């Protein structure tokens, strides 16, 4: 089946699903799905004469505390294009190409986009790299520690909730390895309720690494390839309520599912060639959402891999997607995306009266909600 045919079927499936909801009849399936785009979010934060760089990740702890990973800042171009939107992507060049001035790497915003905190005391951790890759908080941690992964510098960091203390560092800065103390460009992290956590590792290594809650190495699995339990760039990971691990095997275009000890259970293909699945997320409704940079779409599946719904389109306009590298949902259903290519973070608010089945499901913050 050709890529064009698959995309057509996906679009038709999405339209059919949308048609089932009277609340979404107006306009049918559109570029922003069941959401409206929030204007001017976040508010400008770069120093005068500069704009934000590539945006590595976003995590919405609550509607009024959203963590953003900013990969430095660029000087504003001397000649601005007619459609300048204050993000580097509107120049026509990807925000991953220029070399940034690495500062304001970890930021915290409120619901209106106002900057609450800039953890500039930790900017030095990312020197020599390209800036942080991913940010998360364990749903089981009552202290709400913040975890940041730097794939380029080969490290995983655990910070206190306020960013004043660096609690744990895994990996050796700038040193690649595949033993129990090193990484090969790690990408993502996920937890079990007891604090055990898993790191996908990653661009160079092709494995999942398991640690106990104190950071003690427990085990690893995965080799390069396309067979069961093999990976070609494991880029994202999440865990369901049954303690099953879902790994986005990015360049193999699939999700692989394992038990907590690395036993392969099953997999499924995303069906689009070539696909480029960067992110996966399991919501409280027990469905899996993925973002595919190949089609610039959000994709919804049940946990057995049956396709349910899609929305989104490529573009550097408000509501379009260009290089989504992180997404998150707050407890009010607001949806946030961080884009590495356009160099921006966008906020989407649920459209009034929308069928909740079309929204990216809320996460279960069982320990602190």
pLDDT in tens, 152-200: 999 999 999 999 999 999 999 999 999 999 999 999 999 999 999 999 9
Percent of the chain residues past pLDDT 70, beyond the cut: 89
If we measure between CA atoms, which residue out of 153, 166, 129 comes closest to residue 53? 129
Average pLDDT over residues 318-341: 95
Alpha-carbon distance of 268 to 162, in angstroms, equals 39
Q: What string of H, E and C letters represents the secondary structure of the chain? A: CCHHHHHHHHHHHHHHHHHCCHHHCCCCCCCCCCEEECCCCCCCCCCCCEEECCEEEEEEEECCEEEEEECCEEECCCCCCCCCCCCHHHHCCCCCCCCCECCCCEEEECCCCCEEEECHHHHHHHCCCCCCCEEEECCCCCCCCEEEEECCCCEEEEECCCCCCEEEEECCCCCECCCCCCECCEEEEEECCCCCEEEEECCCCCEEEEECCCCCEEEEECEECCCCCEECCEEEEEECCCCCEEEEEHHHCEEEEECCCCCEEEEEECCCCCCCEEEEEECCCCEEEEEECCCCEEEEEECCCCEEEEECCECCCCCCECCEEEEEECCCCCEEEEECCCCEEEEEEECCCCCHHHCCCCCCCCCCC
pLDDT score of 9 more than 50: no
Under a CB-based contact definition with an 8 Å cutoff, are residues 286 and 306 in contact? no
- pLDDT mean over 105-126: 98
**This model's pTM is above 0.85:** yes
Residue 91 backbone dihedrals phi, psi, to 5 degrees: -80, -10
In angstroms, the Cα distances linking 178 to 11, 88, 204, 356 are 41, 35, 9, 43
Where is average pLDDT lowest: 66-70, 168-172, 255-259, 315-319?
315-319
pLDDT at 4: 38
Query: In this model, does residue 323 exceed pLDDT 50?
Result: yes
Q: Judge whether residue 43 has pLDDT over 80.
A: yes
| Residue 367 pLDDT | 54
Give CA–CA dist 329/353, Å, rounded: 18
CA 69/CA 315 separation, integer angstroms: 21
pLDDT of res. 26: 31
pLDDT at residue 13 greater than cutoff 60? no
Residue 103 phi/psi, 5-degree rounding, is: -155, 165
Kindly list the distances between the CA atom of residue 342 and the CA atoms of 106, 128, 188, 266, in Å, as whole numbers in the listed order. Answer: 18, 22, 21, 35
Averaged pLDDT score across all residues of the chain: 89
Res 322: pLDDT: 96
List CB contacts of 216: < 8 A, sequence separation 6 or more: none
Question: Around 239, how many Cα atoms within 13 Å sit in the side-chain half-sphere?
Answer: 25
Residue partners of 260: CB distance under 8 A and separation at least 6: 192, 196, 210, 243, 244, 245
**Cis geometry, peptide bond prior to residue 42 (ω within 30 degrees of 0):** yes
Q: Domains for the chain: give ranges and CATH numbers.
A: 3-358 (2.120.10.30)
Tell me phi and psi for residue 285, to 5 degrees.
Answer: -85, 10
Residue 21 pLDDT level (bands cut at 50, 70, 90): very low
Q: How large is the average pLDDT for residues 124-145?
A: 96
CA atoms within 13 A on the CB side of 265: 17
CB atoms within 10 A of CB 299: 24
Average pLDDT over residues 55-65: 97
pLDDT of residue 22: 27
Give tens-digit pLDDT for 222-241: 999 999 999 999 999 999 99
Note the pLDDT of residue 366: 55
Residue predicted with more confidence, 17 or 106: 106
Please indicate whether residue 30 or residue 166 has the higher confidence score (pLDDT).
166
- Whether residue 6 is predicted with pLDDT greater than 70 in this model: the reply is no
CA distance 19 to 310: 13
Instruction: Please give the average per-residue pLDDT across 284-308, as a whole number.
Output: 93
Nearest C-alpha neighbor of 189 from the set 264, 253, 266, 135: 135
Please determine, for residue 256, whether its predicted confidence score (pLDDT) is greater than 80: yes
User: What are the beta bridge partners of residue 245?
Assistant: 239, 258
Separation of CA 86 from chain center: 22
């Amino acid at each position: 089946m050709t890529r064009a045919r698959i995309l057509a079927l996906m679009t038709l499936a999405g339209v059919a699903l949308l048609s089932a909801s009277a609340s979404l009849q107006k306009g049918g399936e559109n570029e922003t799905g069941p959401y409206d785009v929030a204007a001017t979010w976040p508010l400008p934060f770069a120093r005068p004469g500069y704009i934000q760089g590539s945006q590595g990740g976003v995590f919405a702890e609550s509607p009024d505390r959203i963590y953003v990973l900013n990969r430095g800042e660029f000087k504003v171009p001397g000649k601005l294009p007619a459609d300048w939107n204050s993000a580097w992507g509107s120049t026509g060049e990807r925000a991953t190409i220029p070399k940034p001035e690495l500062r304001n790497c970890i930021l915290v915003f409120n619901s209106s986009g106002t900057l609450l905190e800039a953890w500039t005391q930790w900017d030095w951790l990312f020197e020599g790299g390209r800036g942080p890759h991913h940010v998360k908080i364990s749903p089981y941690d009552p202290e709400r520690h913040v975890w940041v992964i730097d794939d380029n510098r080969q490290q995983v960091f655990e910070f206190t909730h306020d960013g004043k203390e660096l609690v744990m560092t895994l990996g050796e800065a700038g040193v690649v390895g595949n033993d129990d103390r090193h990484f090969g460009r790690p990408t993502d992290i996920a937890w079990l309720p007891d604090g055990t956590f898993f790191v996908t590792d990653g661009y160079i290594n092709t494995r999942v690494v398991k640690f106990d809650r104190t950071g003690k190495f427990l085990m690893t699995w995965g080799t390069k390839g396309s067979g069961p339990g093999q990976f070609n760039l494991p880029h994202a990971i999440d865990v369901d309520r049954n303690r099953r691990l879902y790994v986005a095997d990015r360049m193999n275009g699939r999700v692989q599912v394992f038990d907590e000890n690395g036993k392969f259970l099953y997999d499924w293909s995303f069906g689009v060639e070539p696909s480029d699945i960067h992110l996966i997320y399991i919501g409280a409704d027990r469905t899996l959402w993925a973002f595919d940079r190949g089609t610039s779409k959000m994709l919804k599946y049940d946990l057995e891999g049956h396709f349910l719904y899609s929305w989104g389109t490529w573009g550097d306009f408000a509501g379009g997607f260009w290089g989504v590298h992180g997404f998150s949902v707050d407890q009010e259903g607001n949806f946030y995306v961080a884009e590495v290519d356009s160099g921006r973070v966008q906020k989407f608010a649920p459209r009034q009266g929308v069928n909740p089945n079309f929204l990216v499901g809320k996460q279960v913050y069982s320990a602190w909600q």
